[in-house]
Amino acid sequence: MAPPIWYERYSHRIENYHLPKADEARQTLAATIGADGQLLLKAIEAASEPAWLDKIPAVQTLRQVWTQQYVERDGRLVWRAVEDMPPPAEMISSPYDPDARYSTKRSAAWVGYKVHLTETCEAVRPHVIVNVETTLATTPDDNMLAVVHASLAPRQLLPSEHLVDKGYTSAQVLLDSQREYHVTVVGPVADDPSWQARAGEGFDKAHFQIDWEHHVVACPAGKQSVSWLPKTTVPGISVEARFSAKDCTPCAHRAQCTRAKKEPRLIGLSSREQHEVLQGRRGEQATEAFRQQYAARAGVESTHEQAIRCSGLRQCRYIGEAKTHLQHLVTAVAINLIRVGDWLSGTPLAPTRCSRFAALQGAG
């Protein structure tokens, strides 16, 4: 059933370099490919023999990709607009690995997975990896700490303090780790995202006094809120406290408090436990004691680098999340063997690298 043009169009692997440069030409080619795929899928659906044809994994992947990438309009398939596509966590990003997902982190973008490594950091023993978790690239980091602790607990490897990156911390994670596993999570939390906090001269939530028992919030000028209402439409906000317009409108500090032209200041609050642990951690992480305690986590960056340089961690050797996890496990074992061997032979840990120029400062 394949038309002769298909052999010309699909005999070679599709590479972006060979695709049309103009947007209109790319859209036309995409529509053509969409029609070809639809024709193939309809032929498979219509085929009565063999009965297993429609159950081939590649066919199921093709159907899912076409559903995600195309929509039928006026009897023909057209590319979906970006806003009409499924979320990245659900969308197949590579036909060669249906489990792989597209993700970005700061300036890095990739299709594949994430690996979460947990290692010991005792001063007198080798630093060994004790847990490995492999997830889709789109899985948020703060979802993983409970998974890691649940894996460490039955092996009696739970730490009293767990040093983690900012991406793993949230108010609820700090609370749950202490409550369920008696683990103190040590790591910076996100700064207050409000414009008042970012300006450095406005009145953010930390400037307000909250009376949780009497449901009253006092502003820096000494005025009290007039209402305390449940708020469920904004994620993470459970209560909204509102101040009076007669107090806010003439206030000399209004410009530092709100940008609303007429409305008074509103304060959205999470639960008391979450608010207090978040404010407490934001205060702690500004201290020198916290910086010294958290400095031990810098070693995990060398672990990632060692895994990348020695074992090619960034390149998946196999297809699928399960086999990729096996690769990550074997990589961790290899690193542990190297480290234990170095420790037994008396090889000291390498210090943080210092450039030759920076070393001149000490020489002077």
- Whole-number Cα distances in Å, 269 to 26, 179, 208: 48, 22, 11
Q: Which domains does the chain have, with CATH numbers?
A: 4-84 (no CATH), 111-189+287-344 (3.30.420), 195-271 (no CATH)
Q: pLDDT of 253-269, one tens digit each?
A: 999 999 998 899 999 99
Average pLDDT over residues 65-85: 90
**Residue 156: what are its φ and ψ, rounded to 5°?**
55, 45
Going by their DSSP bridges, the two strands 216-218 and 209-211 should be labelled as: antiparallel
23 vs 361: CA distance, rounded Å: 54
Nearest of 106, 108, 114, 122 to residue 299 by alpha carbon: 122
What is the reported pTM? Answer: 0.83
Q: Between β-strands 239-242 and 129-136, what pairing exists: parallel, antiparallel or unpaired?
A: unpaired
List 229's β-bridge partners, or say none. 240
Q: Which of 141, 152, 147, 144 is nearest to 119 (CA)?
A: 152
Non-local CB neighbours of 224 within 8 Å, separated by 6+ positions: 216, 217, 218, 243
Q: How confident is the model at residue 347 (pLDDT cuts 50, 70, 90)?
A: confident
C-alpha 297/C-alpha 318 separation (Å) is: 30
Tens digit of each residue's pLDDT (9 = 90 or more) over 18-30: 899 999 999 899 9
pLDDT at 69: 93
Q: Which helix (H) or strand (E) holds 151?
A: helix 145-152
Cα–Cα distance between 266 and 259 in angstroms, integer? 11
- Confidence check: pLDDT of 364 > 60: no
In this structure, are strands 216-218 and 227-230 parallel, antiparallel, or unpaired? unpaired
In the predicted model, is pLDDT for residue 249 greater than 80?
A: yes
Buried b / exposed e over 196-231, threshold 16 CB at 10 Å, is bbeeeebbbbebbebeeeeeebbbeeebebeebeee
